[in-house]
């Protein structure tokens, strides 16, 4: 009888451990969703602008995310999760916008402090900062 109980306990604990996410997957799970983006830009947007972005897991990259409506462009940028950081590698978005940058994720996963560069193809770089907040 005690062997059956022990076997059941070990089996139940194994299922719990297997279902826990670790590393980038855990961070992605916590930051997935809708965020308010309070953005300030050095060139293209003279005043602060607030809009919504959506962060979702990148199906092509286990440690990546997709940021929909990046820079308010109604298009998506890809980023890699490294520890508590987002790294936006240099990439071209729809409309010939080249972007790159990074972000720091808060310990409670409710804020991401972003810094990025945007080139609209003119060769003039817009240095932008944004605070993503999630309720």
Query: What is the per-residue pLDDT for 21?
Result: 65
Query: What is the per-residue pLDDT for 16?
Result: 42
Say if CB 96 and CB 121 are below 8 A apart.
yes
Strand residue runs (E) in the chain: 33-41, 49-57, 64-68, 76-82, 85-93, 97-105, 111-119, 125-133
Statement: residue 70 has pLDDT above 50: yes
Say if CB 32 and CB 56 are below 8 A apart.
yes
Structural domains of the chain sorted by starting position, each given as residue range(s) with its CATH number in brackets: 22-133 (2.40.128.20)
Please give the model's pTM, rounded to 2 decimal places: 0.82
Residue 72 — very low, low, confident or very high, per pLDDT cuts 50/70/90?
very high
CA distance linking residue 78 with residue 99, whole number of Å: 10
Query: What is the per-residue pLDDT for 42?
Result: 86
Statement: residue 75 has pLDDT above 60: yes
Residues β-bridged to residue 126: 118
CA distance linking residue 86 with residue 99, whole number of Å: 14
pLDDT digits (tens, 9 = 90+) for 5-37: 434 444 444 444 434 667 899 999 999 999 999
What's the rounded mean pLDDT across residues 70-77? 94
């Amino acid at each position: 009888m005690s062997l059956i109980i022990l076997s059941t306990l070990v089996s139940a604990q194994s299922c719990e451990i297997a279902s826990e996410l670790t590393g980038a997957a855990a961070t992605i799970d916590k930051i997935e969703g809708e965020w308010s983006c309070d953005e300030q830009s050095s060139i293209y947007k003279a005043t602060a602008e607030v809009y919504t972005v959506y962060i979702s897991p990148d199906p092509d990259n286990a440690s990546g995310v997709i940021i929909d409506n990046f820079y308010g462009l109604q298009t998506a940028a890809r980023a890699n999760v490294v520890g508590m950081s987002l790294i936006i590698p240099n990439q071209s978005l729809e409309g010939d916008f080249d972007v790159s940058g990074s972000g720091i994720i808060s310990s409670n996963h409710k804020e991401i402090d972003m810094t990025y560069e945007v080139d609209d193809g003119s060769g003039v770089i817009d240095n932008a900062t944004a605070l993503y907040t999630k309720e």
